[in-house]
Amino acid sequence: MIKIENLEKIYRTDEVQTKALNNVSLAVNEGEFVAIMGPSGCGKSTLLNIIGLLDEPDGGSFRFGSTEVAHVSERQRSKLRKEHIGFVFQSFNLIDELTVAENVELPLIYLGMGAAERKQRVEQVLEKMKIMHRRNHFPQQLSGGQQQRVAVARAVVNSPKLILADEPTGNLDSRNGNEVMELLTELNEAGTTIVMVTHSEHDARYAHRVIRLLDGEVVLENVQQPFTV
């Protein structure tokens, strides 16, 4: 589903150039659950953002499905994003001015879906994430775990093929963290491809495979058995 070859990303600021990604190649198959690990600053987020079409690489190729997307237009990217990709962030990134239900509804609005269908989809997904009773609350009124569940709900509401998660448990305690990992696993088992950045070896064990980065380069790919409790 994702095929990346010799990917480069360089950040240029006034004084310095940072090579955030150097000659990165990797592939993710449909239905896989991949974890990306590595020390802080090694380029994990950069890689995830490029995969999520939020950022452009400076070199190399990136095929999403059968299309080359390394340098497509912003319009094309936003179309691909809203149709195929869901995001979960460490800091939840919910819109404070919108209620739980409205936050979850947002991707469907951008997809141009009718109101009735939206309502149904939102309720389904809120039900599934066990957050239905909080549907009319604002993000600030929820606990961290609840907020992240809303974020996951929002990421999956349009049934994306790919979910990208950047340290989804980073701001959560272990109980809430495990709940989120469980959710992701369920989604994966239902067929969604997941790429997740994490610091935690514990969380990484939920994944089928771990890609380790160091200073912008892939140092190790190992397949491992699915984690069982």
Partner 1 sequence: MFKNYLLVAYRNLVRHKSFSLINISGLALGITACLLIGLFVHDELQFDKNVPDGERIYRVYTQQTKTDAPETFAPVAPMFATTLKQEFPEVEQTMRILMQNSVNLLEVGDKKIYVGDDLMVDSTFFDVFQLPFKYGSAAKALNAPTSIVLTEEVARNFFGDENPIGKEIKVDKSTFNVTGVLENSLDKFHLKVNFIVPLAAAELPAERMKKWGWQQFFTYVKLRPGADAKQTQAKLRAYLNDKVQPTLPPDEKLTSVPVLQPLHQIHLYSSNFKYDSSVKGNITYVKALSLIAVFILLIAGFNFVNLATAKSMQRAKEVGVRKTIGASQQQLMLQFLSETVLLTLASVVLAAVFTSLLLPALNAFTGKTMEFDLLANPALLGVLVLLTVVVGLVAGFYPALVLSSFKPVKVLKSAVVTDGIFGRVQWLRHGLIVVQFALSVFLIICALVVFGQVSYLHNKELGFNREQIMFFPMRGQNMNQQHEAFKNELKQVPGVVSASIGYGFPGDQVAGDGIIVPANGERKDHPVTQLMVDYDYIKTLGLQLVAGRDFSKELTTDKDHAFIINETAVKELGFGTPQQALGKTVEWEVWNDRNPDSLKVGKVIGVVKDFHYKSLYDKLEPAVLQIFPDAYWKVAVKMRADNLGSSVDGVKQVWAKFSPESPIEYKFLDDNFEEMYRAEDKLNTLLWVFTGIAIFVGCLGLFGLATYAAERRKKEIGIRKVLGADVSTIVGLLSKEFLKLVLVAAIIAFPVAWYVMHEWLQDFAYRIDMPLWAFVVAAVAAGTVAFLTVSYQAVRAATANPIKNLRAE
Q: Which residues bind ligand ADP (CB under 6 A)?
A: 11, 13, 18, 20, 38, 40-46
For partner 1, give the closer residue by CB, 100 or 210.
Answer: 100
203 binds, among ligand ADP, Mg ion, partner 1, none (CB under 5 to 8 A by kind): none
Task: Return the H-helix or E-strand segment holding 36.
Answer: strand 33-37
Residues 41-70 that bind Mg ion (CB under 5 A): 45
CB atoms within 10 A of CB 133: 9
Beta bridge partners of 218: 213
For ligand ADP, give the closer residue by CB, 41 or 226.
Answer: 41
Q: How far, CA to CA in Å, does 16 sit from each of 11, 19, 52, 56, 184?
A: 8, 10, 26, 19, 38
17 binds, among ligand ADP, partner 1, Mg ion, none (CB under 5 to 8 A by kind): none
Q: Answer yes or no: are the C-beta atoms of 21 and 215 closer than 8 Å.
A: no
40 binds, among ligand ADP, Mg ion, partner 1, none (CB under 5 to 8 A by kind): ligand ADP
Between CA 218 and CA 229, with CA 223 as vertex, the angle to 5 degrees is 125
For Mg ion, give the closer residue by CB, 105 or 166.
Answer: 166
Report the DSSP pairing between strands 193-197 and 33-37: parallel
For ligand ADP, give the closer residue by CB, 8 or 83.
Answer: 8
Residues of the shown chain interacting with partner 1 in the complex, contacts defined by CB under 8 A = 45, 49, 52, 54-55, 74-75, 78-79, 81-83, 87, 89, 91, 93-98, 102, 105-107, 109-112, 154
